[in-house]
Structure 1
Amino acid sequence: MRIAYFDCHSGISGDMTLAALLDAGASLKSVQEVVHSMGLPEVSIRSEAATRKGFRGQHLVIEHPKEHAHRNLLDILALIRRATMSKNAAEIAHRLFERLARVEAKVHGTTIDQVYFHEVGAIDSIVDMVGVAVAWDELDIQKAVASPVPTGSGTVKISHGVVPLPAPATAELLRDIPIAPCGLPFEMTTPTGAVLLAELVSEYGPIPAMQVNRIGYGAGSREVPDRPNLLRILIGHAIPTRPASEDMDMVWVLETNLDDVSGERIGFAIEAAWRTGALDVFTTPIQMKKQRPGVMLTVLCRREDRQALESELFRHTGTLGIRVRKQARLVLPRASIGVGTPWGLVRGKVSKLPTGEVDFSPEYDDCCWIAKERCIRLQDVVEEVSRCYRAEESLQHEYPLPPEQQELPADSSLPSIASPTHPAASLNLELQQAAMEDQDRSATDRDTFYRWDSAPWPRDEDRDLP
């Protein structure tokens, strides 16, 4: 998705926005052609290099004969219909002026058809908003995010007299938009800038996850005391992110420091923690007061197991205190599978990395049992199981049908990773179905023995080689 971020540190106006979009790569010639096709008399548009507080940017200059006409919404929409521009750009321009007309009607207590634009109906404001619509469409921006916007303080003189900042129409347009504090005695956000935010921006906050490939700077018409008077627009592609609930897992961390407990007692406490439902248990060597060597015992657990594990730690370590905190952890999507090997089916886990790559890890207990029974190296077992996994994984490329139409061969008796849905979440369901089919088979068929649930496997002394 093409995304734009408005960095409104120095406010926003129509001319600053158009200048920033031109600086980011939009075509000035395209804007000029559209404006000329609207029938506006002798309008000249150019973009000039400018510096504000030592930083470069582009400043928009619009020249046209003086006029005293006040246009209403129908007049401006007629100009837009006359222009030769894309349908999308025309719709954007139409929405901008229609929103502005609704706001003006509200603040003046009248109807849309009775609203006459004064400052915004002038040629330069029409060029600003129509030009932004053309540049927006040309840059193919699909979503916009903005920072909080400063409005300035003090007063400003408009056709209706002197009014406080933000001006009434500007304040109405900024409803539900976060405003940044700013004590500068200038109009930092104009009605045209406010309507652009209200109509084009869907979110407000810090820069979103995106890959920036264009940056444009639009310079305001004046220097301000404490900041460069520039509007920065970053344009790029949004980086896809999954909702936090899909990635993050909340756990409780229990920690205690031990310096007068034997290694045997610590080992026993660790075993008790595993039995009580700990997700992970580990120790860290530490140096405690009076230079005594000690051990920090750490337990990770679910909320529902926290109290039971605290009790076990107090009971078996003799500690006087346990540090407790809630911790988020990032968990990769993963599933348990079975892999066919020369020694029978071996359990393992597949996980999906953020890059989309799939990783496989054989089950240690299975590999250890095979290594003991066959009197071979554990490393050789792990390498052979991994090789068998890769071999079965490659079979998925032989299916010519799309994944949702693929089926395993009718004589398939393993929860094979060649399943077209591997490593999708439906894998466990396939294993369950295969397990139920095996109930009708002979109990001596050891080649098809596997477990799809989390129940313990047979002890080593109860297991037979296939």
Structure 2
Amino acid sequence: MRTAYLECQMGISGDMTLGALIDAGVDVDVIRAGIDSLNLEGVELHVEKIIKGGFAATAVTVKHPKQHAHRHMSDIREILSRSDVITDDQKQLALQIFEAIAGAEAKVHGSTVDKVHFHEVGAIDSIVDIIGAAIGFDLLDVDLICCSSIPTGHGLVHIDHGICPIPAPGTAELLKGIPLQDVPVEFELTTPTGAAIVRVLVDRFGPRPPMTIEQIGYGAGTKTFPQRANLLRLFVGQSVPTKDRETVILLETNLDDTTPEVVGYTRQLLEEAGALDVYTTSIDMKKNRPGVLLSVLCQPLLSDELQDIIFEQTGTLGIRISPLERATLSRSVATVETVYGSIRGKVTRPVGRTEWFQPEFEDCAKAASEHDIPLRDVYRTAQSVFAEHQSTAATHDHDHDHDHDHDHDHDHDHDHDHDHDHDHDHDHDHDHDK
């Protein structure tokens, strides 16, 4: 599984993220073309290789005229609509990041997403950082994004509303549910833009997963700290199939005065909101009343949102919250072409075994209905096609490896060419907000 890991030992900001992406090999010309297509007058993306804390890194700076505009979500949508170069997926990803910031600001200021206006994040440089990062991650084309715990820094920061303790209210709201770490530096290490990027993009927080590293990118921050390299490091490579451990949240509540229809509707809303699993158990409650135990398993980031759904829909007066650790197998998404049409599914590799394909129920049910055949036949066909493809690929790889070894023994210039191209990998760019 192609995986990206963000190592945020000195926090994260928009320009650091963009710099790390470019340094890891994302095509800066494609990002520039996307930014240029927004028709922002006088705006230029400046990328350079620098030394930060003794390490080579990419620094990104957004050159722009002086401005005093405070923008709303409607302004951001209008800016993105100007481009016929940025893809729909890239625009959607950028909008998700802006909407996360708008939602956090709306909550801390008692406003709404459409009415709240961006301050620092509404500045041109932050807009470019977010849109550039959205383009960059789309081009990176990874299946899984992981991230370390996040340091916020300490002290006070000047924002549009005055002086605030670090993290600023909007940043703190964005970091709810995300594991933090203490780095004893009196500075804003994680900006609202950086917090929004990890909130929207990251699938899993924790140590770097077992992986075969293919690229490493260093994004430099603008601030220089004694004895600490102000860098964001990005690892890109292939995850090693293994049992991954992660922290999840179990939400539970006992219901004895809720109709089955309400329970079913609540379950549907919870699943649509991103719950990992929702299930019910019949229980006996006080005064000999039959009841239902509603259990919801979710990522820590979604805990508050799912609690709100449970309170609003069921009328319960309390929810038990338990952090749990679970082990999961790495998985990816694949599609197989069968005589019944395209069938999507999840691919995983149990430890010590070959890859296994589990078809998606919706695709199989649709195919079974359209072709008037048993559902189990579609499942079996999809798994058979996947197994045949794997067998063919394995045979091809074996033949390819044999040919490669044969040529390698006779090609005496191979080592020279490899060394000659080595320096090219270090020609990257950089970005940073902090």
**TM-score of the two chains, using structure 1 as the length reference:** 0.52
Which secondary structure does the structure 2 equivalent of 1:193 belong to?
helix
Tell me what 1:3 maps to: 3
- Give me the whole-angstrom Cα distance separating, in 1, the residues matched to 2:134 and 2:354: 37
- Give me the whole-angstrom Cα distance separating, in 1, the residues matched to 2:166 and 2:141: 34
Tell me what 2:238 maps to: 237
Is 2:171 the counterpart of 1:173?
no
Unaligned runs of 5+ in 1: 245-351, 358-400, 406-466
1:356 positional shift? 5.4
1:89 positional shift? 0.9
Conserved in 2, the CA contact under 8 Å of 1:15 and 1:60? yes
Which of the two has higher C-alpha Rg? 1
- Give me the whole-angstrom Cα distance separating, in 2, the residues matched to 1:74 and 1:353: 49
Conserved in 2, the CA contact under 8 Å of 1:89 and 1:134? yes
Which secondary structure does the structure 2 equivalent of 1:58 belong to?
strand
Conserved in 2, the CA contact under 8 Å of 1:28 and 1:46? no
- Give me the whole-angstrom Cα distance separating, in 2, the residues matched to 1:243 and 1:58: 31
Conserved in 1, the CA contact under 8 Å of 2:77 and 2:95? yes
Which secondary structure does the structure 1 equivalent of 2:11 belong to?
coil
Conserved in 2, the CA contact under 8 Å of 1:70 and 1:118? yes
- Give me the whole-angstrom Cα distance separating, in 2, the residues matched to 1:402 and 1:130: 38
- When the two chains are superposed, the root-mean-square deviation of aligned CA atoms in Å is 2.2
Conserved in 1, the CA contact under 8 Å of 2:242 and 2:351? no
Amino acid at match of 2:78: A
Superposition map of 1:316-331 within 5 A: none
- Give me the whole-angstrom Cα distance separating, in 2, the residues matched to 1:149 and 1:127: 23
- Residue by residue, what CA displacement relative to the aligned partner does 1:132-191 show, whole Å, maximum 9, x if unpaired? 000111110232111111111000001110000001111000001111112211110000
1:29 positional shift? 1.2
- Residue by residue, what CA displacement relative to the aligned partner does 1:368-387 show, whole Å, maximum 9, x if unpaired? xxxxxxxxxxxxxxxxxxxx
Q: Indicate how the Cα distance of structure 1 residues 204 and 243 shifts in structure 2: closer, same or farther if over 3 A, else same.
A: closer
Instruction: Report the number of matched residues.
Output: 255
Q: Looking at both structures, which has the greater relative contact order when contacts are Cα pairs under 8 Å and sequence separation is at least 6?
A: 2
- Give me the whole-angstrom Cα distance separating, in 1, the residues matched to 2:123 and 2:26: 23
Percent identity over the alignment is 45
Tell me what 1:182 maps to: 183
Conserved in 1, the CA contact under 8 Å of 2:149 and 2:205? yes
Tell me what 1:437 maps to: none
- Give me the whole-angstrom Cα distance separating, in 1, the residues matched to 2:31 and 2:49: 18
Amino acid at match of 1:188: L
Tell me what 1:34 maps to: 34
Tell me what 2:229 maps to: 228
- Give me the whole-angstrom Cα distance separating, in 1, the residues matched to 2:96 and 2:382: 43
Amino acid at match of 2:119: H
Tell me what 2:59 maps to: 59
Tell me what 1:119 maps to: 120
1:242 positional shift? 5.1
Tell me what 1:109 maps to: 110
Of 31-40 and 128-137, deviating more is 31-40
Which secondary structure does the structure 2 equivalent of 1:97 belong to?
helix
Which secondary structure does the structure 2 equivalent of 1:117 belong to?
coil
Amino acid at match of 1:23: D
Conserved in 2, the CA contact under 8 Å of 1:43 and 1:62? yes
**TM-score of the two chains, using structure 2 as the length reference:** 0.56
Amino acid at match of 1:167: A
- Residue by residue, what CA displacement relative to the aligned partner does 1:431-453 show, whole Å, maximum 9, x if unpaired? xxxxxxxxxxxxxxxxxxxxxxx
Amino acid at match of 2:60: L
Q: Indicate how the Cα distance of structure 1 residues 118 and 240 shifts in structure 2: closer, same or farther if over 3 A, else same.
A: same
1:78 positional shift? 1.4
Tell me what 1:354 maps to: 352
- Give me the whole-angstrom Cα distance separating, in 2, the residues matched to 1:202 and 1:69: 34
- Give me the whole-angstrom Cα distance separating, in 1, the residues matched to 2:91 and 2:72: 17
1:243 positional shift? 7.2
Conserved in 2, the CA contact under 8 Å of 1:173 and 1:195? yes
- Give me the whole-angstrom Cα distance separating, in 2, the residues matched to 1:68 and 1:355: 60
Is 2:150 the counterpart of 1:149?
yes
1:222 positional shift? 1.1
Tell me what 2:208 maps to: 207
- Give me the whole-angstrom Cα distance separating, in 2, the residues matched to 1:159 and 1:70: 10
Tell me what 1:328 maps to: none
Tell me what 2:336 maps to: none
Amino acid at match of 2:102: A
Tell me what 1:217 maps to: 218
1:48 positional shift? 1.0
Amino acid at match of 2:113: I
Amino acid at match of 1:354: G
Amino acid at match of 1:31: I
Amino acid at match of 2:147: A
Superposition map of 1:26-425 within 5 A: 26-83=26-83, 84-241=85-242, 354=352
